[in-house]
Structure 1
Amino acid sequence: MLIIRPITAADYPALMLCAEASGHGFTSLPINETILRARINHSQASFNATVTSPGQESYLLVAVDSVSGQMVGTTAIEATVGLDAPFYNYHLSTVTHASRRLGVHNTVKVLTLGSQYTGETELCSLFLLPEWRQGINGRLLSKSRFLFMAEHRQRFAEIAFAEMRGVSDEQGNSPFWQWLKDSFFSIDFTYADYLTGIGRKGFIADLMPKLPIYVNLLSKEAQAVIGQVHVDTRPALQLLEQEGFCCRGYVDIFDAGPSVECDVRNIETVRHSQRCRVNIGEHSSEQYYLVSNCELAGFRAVAAPLLVNSQGQVTMAADVATALNIAIGDEVRLVALS
């Protein structure tokens, strides 16, 4: 059984292993001890803070095997972005150039630099070690964030979004960045991505073109990957799309991967989750649920078969209750897994 819980200082070695395994383009897990330890400390402070409206809190969750105790994955929620440093993106839109006198009518796509998601909630750092990417593990890790957000709604903005990793090869070469590099930057994609991951974003404002970029002026290779996701990111994108997330034309400024967004109230797991009171005992139900306790710093979530009745009561096995740190009569939040 995988248990989702807040990260602790003791998880640092495993977090570094995840950062190393995540590969190029995974900006939110830089291979940097100072940054990763700071993320852990900031997360712990956020889980213990009293919050009435979203600020600069960061909630870093980990997936732990209940048998071995091994940490096998991560996921995180940034309560807001762009309040302390600009959060840049490109917006892909269409413009028309026409001349009635000449009878010419051309429609072209442009990329415009902006900071659309300033103040919104970001979902990030979703990563599972390859050997654990089977069954419902990915869904548990992704959807557990939404149970947490549903339970602690005041801690998050009205809109949640996620940046999907764009196309790059095994060496970290991005076709989109290659065009930007040749035209404006003169630094490698992996280095630019690393600088962003450790918070050194000043070079973006210094070197990024301020005026809209006409897409038809890019290389064919760069044009082809705008709005496309890395092969390893497709499962994560599908999970978010099932929750109601969609792309509204915003893409990453480095690899042109799409950003997807959803009103938090309309996220499927948030909409359909419910609170139930706990009974502990044996049952014959084979219906799996994603279930969490209703704690903050003590948050726990698992996926398990449960028996839910129409009176708002749920019966679960003793090992599930133990994993959630709950007792008979406590309340949990749950949602059925299809």
Structure 2
Amino acid sequence: MQVLRPITVNDFAALKEIAIESGHGFTSLPVDDGQLQEKIDRAQNSFTKNVDKPIDESYLFVLEDSETGKVIGTTAIEAAVGLSVPLYHYHLGKTVHHSPTLNVYNTVDILSMCNDYTGCSEICTLFLREDSRKGLTGRFLSRSRFLFMAQHSERFADTVIAEMRGVSDEDGHSPFWQWLQEHFFSIEFPQADHLVGLGDKVFISELMPKYPIYVNLLSKKAQAVIGHVHDKTKPALKLLEKEGFEHRGYVDLFDADPTVEAKLGNIRSIRDSQVCPITIGELEHINEQSSDTLAICNQGVSDFRATFTKHAHYNQAKHTLIISQEVADALHLKQGDAARFFRL
């Protein structure tokens, strides 16, 4: 059974392995011992804080195989971004050049730097190890965050964003960054990417162009990747789009990947989830071939646990969730407790 839980200090080695495996462009997990330990410490502090509104908490989870004890993935939620470290984006807009005298009318795309998502919640740091990318595991890892957000909505902002991974080659080079580097910077994309992962964003305000960039002045390769994601990120983007996330023209400063957004209450998994008492009992009468797979969590914060299983059945008439003893143990639930769930 695969169980999502808050990260602990004992997960440092596994988190570092994941950071190494994730490769270029995965800025939220830099391969830096100090930064990784700081992320773990910050998450542990966030899970134990008593808060009624989002401030600067970071909730970092790991997905563990309960049989082997191996950490096979990770995911996270930032409660309110941009409050301590500025969050920059480009917004893709338009400007019109019109001369009635010459009968000329041109509409041009422009990129304007902004901080429009300051204070929003962000789902991030989604990574599943390659040998575990089968079945419903990836879908669960992505959607499991919404169980936590639905259960503890007071901890999150009304708007939720997700920054997707942009287009880059095997060496981590971004066509969009190559144009910026040529005209404004003297560092390679992997180095800039690494600095952002370390939280060092001073160079952005120092070196980034202060005025809007005309898209038609970019190289053809740079123009072609604006708003597009890395091939390995396309499945994750499709999952978020099914949840109701939309791209509203905001892209990353470095590789021009899209940032998508949704209102917390409109996210499908949050809207469709429900809470009811559990009954621990036998499920022999359930046909696993035809029964739904449910994503289920307890109601804890520091003791949060979530899993997905066919060994559960929602009795609508009695408004109770019947689960096996194994599932109850994995979620730290006892007879009569309540759980939140949705159909995976």
TM-score range, shorter chain: over 0.9
Query: In structure 2, what residue type is equivalent to 1:133?
Result: R
Q: SS where residue 75 of structure 2 aligns?
A: strand
Q: Which structure 2 residue ranges, 5 or more long, are not aligned?
A: none
Q: Which residue of 2 aligns with 1:303?
A: 308
Q: What is the TM-score when the length of structure 2 is the normalising length? A: 0.97
Map Cα deviations across residues 168-221 of structure 1 (whole Å, 9 max, x no partner). Answer: 011001000000000101100000010011011000000000100000000000
Partner of 2:213: 213
Pair 1:99 & 2:99 matched: yes
Secondary structure of 1:168 counterpart = coil
TM-superposed deviation, 1:128:
0.3
Query: Is residue 19 from structure 1 mapped to residue 19 from structure 2 by the alignment?
Result: yes
- The separation in 2 between residues aligned to 1:5 and 1:312, in whole angstroms, is 26
Taking the TM superposition and a 5 Å limit, the aligned residue runs for 1:1-338 are 1-283=1-283, 284-285=286-287, 286-305=291-310, 306-310=312-316, 311-337=318-344
- How far 1:280 sits from its partner (Å)? 1.0
> How far off its partner does 1:44 sit?
0.3
Distance in 2 (CA, whole Å) between partners of 1:81 and 1:9 is: 24
After TM superposition, give the deviation of residue 127 of structure 1 in Å.
0.3
Query: Shift in Å at residue 96 of structure 1?
Result: 1.2
For residues 220 and 211 of structure 2, the distance between their equivalents in structure 1, rounded to whole angstroms, comes to 21
For 1:281, the aligned partner's letter is G
Following superposition, the deviation at residue 335 of structure 1 comes to: 0.4
Calculate percent identity across the aligned residue pairs.
Answer: 52
- Measure how far apart 1:298 and its partner are: 0.4
* Separation (CA, whole Å) in 2 of partners of 1:83 and 1:242: 29
Give the CA deviation at 1:294.
Answer: 0.5
2: CA distance, partners of 1:195 / 1:165: 16
Q: CA deviation at 1:134?
A: 1.0
| Aligned-residue offset at 1:309 | 1.3
Measured against aligned partners, the alpha-carbon deviations of 1:13-59 in whole angstroms (never above 9, x if no partner) come to 00000000001000000000000000000000000000011010000
Task: Give the alignment's Cα RMSD to 1 decimal.
Answer: 0.7
Structure 1 stretches (4+) deviating beyond 6 angstroms? none
Counterpart contact for 1:275–1:312, Cα < 8 Å: no
Residues of 2 paired with 1:166 and 1:52: CA distance?
34
SS in 2 for 1:319: helix
Q: Give the match's secondary structure for 2:255.
A: coil
Cα separation, 2, equivalents of 1:309 and 1:35: 46
Deviations 1:77-128 (A, max 9, x none): 0000111121000000111111111111111100000011100001110000
SS in 1 for 2:236: helix
Letter in 2 for 1:86: P
Quote the offset at 1:139 in angstroms. Answer: 1.1
How many angstroms apart in 2 are the aligned matches of 1:278 and 1:86? Answer: 43
CA distance in 2, matches of 1:298, 1:234: 32
**Is the Cα contact below 8 Å between 1:6 and 1:62 reproduced in 2?**
yes
Deviations, residues 297-332 of structure 1 (Å, cap 9, x unaligned): 000000012211123201111111111010110000
Q: Deviations over 1:209-236 (max 9, x none)?
A: 0100000000000000000000111111
Q: Partner amino acid for 1:330?
A: D
8 A contact 1:293–1:326 mirrored in 2: yes
Distance 2:219 2:319 in 1: 58
**1:141-165 per-position Cα deviation (integer Å, ceiling 9, x unaligned):** 1111101000001100000000001
What amino acid maps onto 2:34 in structure 1? T
Q: Secondary structure at the match of 1:10?
A: helix
Give me the whole-angstrom Cα distance separating, in 1, the residues matched to 2:5 and 2:210.
Answer: 42
Partner SS for 2:134: coil
Q: Hey, what's the Cα distance between the residues in 1 that align with 2:57 and 2:42?
A: 7
TM (normalized to structure 1)?
A: 0.99
Structure 1 position 8, deviation (Å): 0.3
Aligned residues: 337
